[in-house]
Structure 1
Amino acid sequence: MENNSKRFPYSLDLASSLFAMALILAFMVATQSVLIPLLFSILISISLFPLARFFERLRLGKAFASILSVIIAIAIIWVIGWFIVHQSIIIGKDASSITDKVVSVLERAQSWVEQTFGIQRTAMMDQLRDQGNKMLSNAGTMASATFGSIGNILAGAVLVPLFSFFLLYYRDFFREFFFKAFKSVPQSKVHATLNKIYDVVQSYLLGLVTVMGIVAVLNTVGLMLMGIEYAWFFGTLASLLMLLPYIGIAIGSILPALFALAVKDSAWYAVGVIAWFQVVQFLEGNIITPNIVGSKVSINPLMAIIAILLGGMLFGLSGLILALPLTATIKVIFDAIPSMQAFGFLIGEPEKEHLKRNSTQELLMKWGIVRKPKMEKKIKVDIQVDATSPNETTKIQYKEINQSAEHPYEDLDRENKNDQTND
């Protein structure tokens, strides 16, 4: 029986895939008011799944276990928020003294600029006044955006716990949906892909929480050694900003540095704060995170930065937070689809063989572009005959010499052409 199925050119398949991806992105941007709370709920429900299973083993029932897990998550988030607000209020009580020191620092900075660059203070004040007028002229737009963000936060505060509860309670129902949606794929493969997505996302989230705790301790210890007040507040706040990958700790170092500049007599304290936070960021990126998260979330730094930039461009702050777990999930899905495995490979981390000094030659040999070097064996023989001794003796010494061919990496195409010519 003849197969009448038509195979489309690769360029047409690629164009259709890119067009479908563009439509999906447009749909995500148009529905982000619902989609973003749903994505956060998925992440929270995955992180709460072990807790819900623990309560279910205590025979509490699936519904009650799901509700209790969500309540515990709300309580933890509320405690963290209360700590930040409480410490901000305490710091605000000393606002007058801090303001006086900040003003004195600005006075010294103005004097330094005037002496170094010859810019008069009146010119600087005119520039500040102009910037202030521009900010006031845009106050209406800023206020509307602020109230819109507050509205989104309040909506998320209601939707995220609700979505998280239903995702935990109906988890088996959603799993069967995927079995029905992908009937043409072996069900064992669908099951394994879902489990791998769960493992990757949970490893990222639990690893992130653990790393945030370690970074908070390191930040706080460094600030305490430098004598910076409210060290726990600044250290914890900087660790919470790790939700913004690669830039969170750097942003978190600005506030304690400004505080140190205001309350300390020397500017070297601010420099020390920034330097210590950069050391902590180096330790986090090269030692702490790789050892805790491991190789389950394997995204190379280039693709991670691109994903973060695209997430921020599409969804703002929420996109920055969701970029890495979504990229890790997309990689698992690409690895499970044969036609998309190349893109999953592109997102993942390079292997050691890609980073060797002679990796290009090994790569060409791996894909059959060049052949392996031929070794020509030669034997050097040295015969010594001693005719002067009564018993004539002969000594034979030989040494094996390995010499590579003159052109060990000739193209296989050229070799095949030569074979065809000889035929």
Structure 2
Amino acid sequence: MTDRDSVPRWLLWLTASVATGWLLYTLRGVLAPFFFAFLIAYMLDPLVDRIEAMPLLRNSRIARGTGIAVLLVGVFAVTTVLLFVVAPMVFEQISNFVKRLPALLERSRAEWEPLLAQYGLTMPTSVAEGLEELHLDFQQIVAKSYTPVSAAVKWLLGGTVSALGALLAALIVPIFAFYLTYDFDNIMESLANFVPPRHRPQTYSFFRDIDAVLGQFFRGQFTVMAILAVLYSVGYGLIGVPLALPIGIMAGLLSFIPYAGSLTALGAALLMTALDWQGWTQVLWVIGVHFTIQGLEGFVITPKVMGDTVGISAIAVMFALLVGGELLGFTGVLLAIPAAAVVKILIQRADDQYRRSQFFVGGDGASRDASEDQKHQV
């Protein structure tokens, strides 16, 4: 008997898992760009496969490269629109709002000060005083917060990488994403060959289940985020809410965190409405637009885009994001949803194995036979 045979198999797996976890934690800052690149390749691969399967490209040696090129043109077009159309509009709205802010505060003081005085509250007399009273020390807020959003902000502000590192990561991500997308099928096939033949059916089935959950979740969630950003921006803009476009974009980006996007949109829109006070009718318009969009999201957009097969509940998503942000920072936020999907599949398979075990069934299957007899009697 060799030393390897004398070591329990579960101990080897436990040691390997702990070592892998420690390595991922140690290299979390370095791995973030590579994870971004893999995520992009993972989401683009089905689109590339569809383009590659088109009749004109089906038998071409450059089919996959052509598919990636078509997608890159689309991505470049969207990026150009965002940089040269949407971004200037956002900056213009913010600039105009900042110019109007002193006058808005003065007018809102006249509207709200009598009401607030009844409760012993006062309003700031200037923008500087208001910021001072609110203690809007952004770094302190981020330092004291442990939400997934704060983890992302801390990472972007330099909590884990320097500005040079962030620039380097921004250059690395598209390059790696291109090569990963180009060789995605070959990479997956090479990884699959490492699985022993006797374990391949179970392993392939396991990863197919994960792919079904993750693929639909990520691709669907990004689509939902974009739709919500447009709806909030247009809806609030039509009723005259200040900063409608930035509020809509922020709400769309935060919508992957359950309830965060919705609460952010409603809170920011009501705050802007209170500053630019036009009466309670405007408040009712804001609430009406907000809940109309919420109804569309809940009953039309999410069911149509994501379907009913995703299977990751809102509570599970929130818990996974909080735990991931606490343990690994921004990298943990990125890994939270995939980890939740893996855990979900593992629990389902463990439950299936348990319900087919002799302990649950009852030895030689007596319980199963008894239940079948009861069904026939009924």
TM-score (norm 2): 0.68
Query: Equivalents in 2 of 1:219, 1:367: separation in Å?
Result: 59
Residue 92 in structure 1 maps to residue 100 in structure 2: no
When residues 344 and 203 of structure 1 are mapped into structure 2, their CA distance, relative to the original with a 3 A threshold, is farther
Q: Which region of structure 1 is more displaced relative to structure 2, 221-230 or 296-305?
A: 221-230
Q: Which region of structure 1 is more displaced relative to structure 2, 30-39 or 269-278?
A: 269-278
When residues 50 and 39 of structure 1 are mapped into structure 2, their CA distance, relative to the original with a 3 A threshold, is same
Q: Point out the structure with max Rg over C-alpha.
A: 1
Query: Equivalents in 2 of 1:303, 1:190: separation in Å?
Result: 24
Matched residue of 1:158: which SS?
helix
Query: Equivalents in 2 of 1:266, 1:219: separation in Å?
Result: 21
Which aligned pairs between 1:183-222 and structure 2 lie closer than 5 A?
A: 183-220=196-233, 222=235
Query: Equivalents in 1 of 2:109, 2:21: separation in Å?
Result: 46
Query: 2:257 touches 2:317 (CA, 8 Å); kept in 1?
Result: no
- Give the C-alpha shift of residue 216 in structure 1: 3.9
| Structure 1 match to 2:27 | 31
Query: Equivalents in 2 of 1:164, 1:96: separation in Å?
Result: 42
Which aligned pairs between 1:111-190 and structure 2 lie closer than 5 A?
A: 112-117=115-120, 129=132, 135=137, 146-147=157-158, 148=161, 150-151=163-164, 153-190=166-203
The two structures, once aligned, show a CA RMSD in angstroms of 4.7
Matched AA of 1:87: M
- Give the C-alpha shift of residue 150 in structure 1: 4.6
Matched AA of 2:107: S
- Give the C-alpha shift of residue 128 in structure 1: 6.5
Residue 289 in structure 1 maps to residue 289 in structure 2: no
Query: 1:257 touches 1:270 (CA, 8 Å); kept in 2?
Result: yes
Matched residue of 2:282: which SS?
helix
- Superposed CA deviations along residues 223-242 of structure 1, whole A, max 9, x for unmatched, are 25534366555434422332
Residue 101 in structure 1 maps to residue 104 in structure 2: yes
Query: Equivalents in 2 of 1:63, 1:168: separation in Å?
Result: 9
- Superposed CA deviations along residues 119-155 of structure 1, whole A, max 9, x for unmatched, are 7989xx99965776x949979x999983556545433
Matched AA of 2:68: S
Q: Which region of structure 1 is more displaced relative to structure 2, 33-42 or 195-204?
A: 195-204
Query: Equivalents in 1 of 2:210, 2:180: separation in Å?
Result: 15
Q: By percentage of residues, which structure has more strand? A: 1
Residue 307 in structure 1 maps to residue 323 in structure 2: no
- Superposed CA deviations along residues 258-307 of structure 1, whole A, max 9, x for unmatched, are 33223332366356535643553455245532343123321233322211
Matched residue of 2:279: which SS?
coil
Query: 1:46 touches 1:198 (CA, 8 Å); kept in 2?
Result: no
Give the share of equivalent positions with the same residue, in percent.
Answer: 23
Matched residue of 2:255: which SS?
helix
- Give the C-alpha shift of residue 211 in structure 1: 2.4
| Structure 1 match to 2:64 | 62
When residues 322 and 157 of structure 1 are mapped into structure 2, their CA distance, relative to the original with a 3 A threshold, is same
Residue 328 in structure 1 maps to residue 341 in structure 2: yes
- Give the C-alpha shift of residue 196 in structure 1: 4.1
Residue 73 in structure 1 maps to residue 86 in structure 2: no
Q: Which region of structure 1 is more displaced relative to structure 2, 178-187 or 264-273?
A: 264-273
Matched AA of 1:86: P
Query: 1:244 touches 1:321 (CA, 8 Å); kept in 2?
Result: no
Query: Equivalents in 1 of 2:265, 2:28: separation in Å?
Result: 27
| Structure 2 match to 1:242 | 255
When residues 51 and 288 of structure 1 are mapped into structure 2, their CA distance, relative to the original with a 3 A threshold, is closer
Query: 1:311 touches 1:323 (CA, 8 Å); kept in 2?
Result: yes
Query: 1:32 touches 1:315 (CA, 8 Å); kept in 2?
Result: yes
- Give the C-alpha shift of residue 172 in structure 1: 3.3
Matched AA of 1:53: D
Q: Which residue of the other structure, out of 337, 350, 357, is the alignment partner of 1:342? A: 350
Which aligned pairs between 1:222-237 and structure 2 lie closer than 5 A?
A: 222-224=235-237, 226-228=239-241, 231=244, 234-237=247-250
Unaligned runs of 5+ in 2: 144-152, 354-364
When residues 277 and 320 of structure 1 are mapped into structure 2, their CA distance, relative to the original with a 3 A threshold, is farther
Matched residue of 1:117: which SS?
coil
- Give the C-alpha shift of residue 36 in structure 1: 2.0
Query: 2:250 touches 2:261 (CA, 8 Å); kept in 1?
Result: no
Query: 1:200 touches 1:329 (CA, 8 Å); kept in 2?
Result: no
Matched residue of 2:89: which SS?
helix
When residues 221 and 128 of structure 1 are mapped into structure 2, their CA distance, relative to the original with a 3 A threshold, is closer
When residues 18 and 269 of structure 1 are mapped into structure 2, their CA distance, relative to the original with a 3 A threshold, is farther
| Structure 2 match to 1:251 | 264
Q: Which residue of the other structure, out of 269, 283, 286, is the alignment partner of 1:273? A: 286
Unaligned runs of 5+ in 1: 346-365, 376-423
TM-score (norm 1): 0.62
Q: Which region of structure 1 is more displaced relative to structure 2, 199-208 or 211-220?
A: 211-220
- Give the C-alpha shift of residue 105 in structure 1: 2.3
Query: Which structure is richer in relative contact order (CA contacts within 8 A, separation 6 or more)?
Result: 2
Matched residue of 1:181: which SS?
coil
- Give the C-alpha shift of residue 322 in structure 1: 4.8
- Superposed CA deviations along residues 375-405 of structure 1, whole A, max 9, x for unmatched, are 9xxxxxxxxxxxxxxxxxxxxxxxxxxxxxx
Query: Equivalents in 2 of 1:150, 1:254: separation in Å?
Result: 32
- Give the C-alpha shift of residue 161 in structure 1: 0.9
- Superposed CA deviations along residues 2-32 of structure 1, whole A, max 9, x for unmatched, are xxx7896xxx95x987776555444323212
Q: By percentage of residues, which structure has more helix? A: 2
When residues 17 and 61 of structure 1 are mapped into structure 2, their CA distance, relative to the original with a 3 A threshold, is same
Residue 44 in structure 1 maps to residue 52 in structure 2: no
